[in-house]
Amino acid sequence: MAARHTQSQCFAVPVNDVQGRYRYPDVVRFEIEEQDLASYRRAAAFLNANRVDVVSVQHEFGIFGGPSGSYLLTLLRELTMPVVTTLHTVLLKPNADQHSVMEELLVRSTRLVVMTERGRTILQEVYQAPPAKIDLIPHGIPDVPFVSPKNYKDQFGLGGKKVLLTFGLLSPNKGIEHVLNALPDVVAEFPDVVYIVLGATHPNELRARGEAYRLGLKAVARKNKLEKNVVFHNRFVELKELTEFIGAADLYITPYLGEAQSTSGTLAYAFGAGKAVISMPYWHAAELLGDQRGVLVPFGDPRAIAREVSGLLRDETRRKAMSNNAYKLGRKHVWSNSARLYMRSFELARQQGNNGARVCSDDRIRPSAVSTAGI
């Protein structure tokens, strides 16, 4: 947003989920303490005092304090400017607290952003959100060139290997054990396969159970005699290195266990880079991978994973066609296009907040967009 609309002033207000401080960049101008209700009020006063034009809320259950993140509502009640809320999760079957929070969140938001058609449908059918209030903006992705995995493999010592990749913060809902149980059948035909599991353990998982999930995955790999075929990278990687890991992959796998996942940033990144993807049929994947843009397999089914991995490694023509289809659609989702669509949403919100003020063309819009939490 800041790069595309240079006349805008964009700054961030994150939510701290641990005691102590993060080392934030200068774009952060105020911090909220997750479980301190008073800090939400102070944040609202800060935003009002700075005469912000639009507040962009990145909403996910589990980020904000209070029952089902209800402390966020305290902030929103005191704001004097329009709010555009991006919903990273739209629950089909919320509990009573979640439904109550969502109902008020929808009322307090001038506009609502969802990333999938399924999310838009659920907002209307479950929460009775007005269709005219909803903007569909797919998850943004880096704009990377479409190149052969061979161009990246050597730097990771993977030259001549067949590379499978899963990345993201680790937690038990990722279902990676099912890929590990699928690999013996794949390795029997393709002994040069390497499966990379890239990502640190999720902070919440780390605090609750330590590295139990990762250690369990390593135990599965040992049991299946996959020590030479599986590589765990227990770290968070910056964008440049992440795009290189993605670039080296022949196949990307998302074995997630929950159907009701309305958005997956890791899937969006790999898909947009032109990777052939094998995925469980959670909502985002089912929508994105249709029309020969990827392969869906049943939840928790190692045999199906093995069958599709081997089939795609065997059939280079099909794999390349799938990659081309994914990359072609992904051009619509690059961050610069996301910025354009978000600016349109922000300006609509400002127009509605100002009782019908005239909408300016993009090069004349000068709102300050504030993210109250980053995902």
pLDDT surpasses 80 at 355: no
Contact 125, 93 (CB under 8 A): no
pLDDT of residue 8: 87
Residues 6 or more apart from 181 whose CB is under 8 A from it?
220, 224, 302
pLDDT of residue 4: 85
Over the stretch 246-279, which tens digit does the pLDDT of each residue have?
A: 999 999 999 999 887 778 889 999 999 999 999 9
Over the stretch 278-315, which tens digit does the pLDDT of each residue have?
A: 999 998 999 899 888 999 999 999 999 999 999 999 99
Over the stretch 119-135, which tens digit does the pLDDT of each residue have?
A: 999 999 999 999 999 99
The amino acid occupying position 134 is I
pLDDT of residue 261: 77
Under the banding of pLDDT at 50, 70 and 90, the label for residue 354 is low
pLDDT of residue 372: 54
pLDDT surpasses 90 at 373: no
Say how many Å lie between the first and final Cα of the chain, rounded. Answer: 16
pLDDT of residue 316: 93
pLDDT of residue 130: 96
pLDDT surpasses 60 at 40: yes
pLDDT of residue 263: 83
In percent, the amount of the chain with pLDDT more than 70 equals 94
pLDDT surpasses 90 at 109: yes
Token pair recorded at residue 160: 């001549």
- Specify the DSSP class assigned to residue 133: G
Q: Please, what sign has the CA dihedral across residues 185, 190, 191, 196? A: negative
As a whole number of angstroms, the distance between CA 371 and CA 58 comes to 7
- Specify the DSSP class assigned to residue 95: -
Token pair recorded at residue 84: 């555009």
Report the chain's mean pLDDT, rounded to a whole number. Answer: 91
As a whole number of angstroms, the distance between CA 39 and CA 75 comes to 9
Strand pairing category for 32-33 and 295-296: unpaired
Kindly list the strands in the beta sheet with 54-59, ordered across the sheet, starting from the edge strand earlier in the chain. Answer: 11-12, 369-371, 54-59, 83-87, 111-114, 134-136
Higher pLDDT, 110 or 368: 110
pLDDT surpasses 60 at 21: yes
- Tally Cβ neighbours within 10 Å of residue 22: 10
Over the stretch 66-99, which tens digit does the pLDDT of each residue have?
A: 999 999 999 999 999 999 999 998 999 999 999 9
As a whole number of angstroms, the distance between CA 163 and CA 74 comes to 48
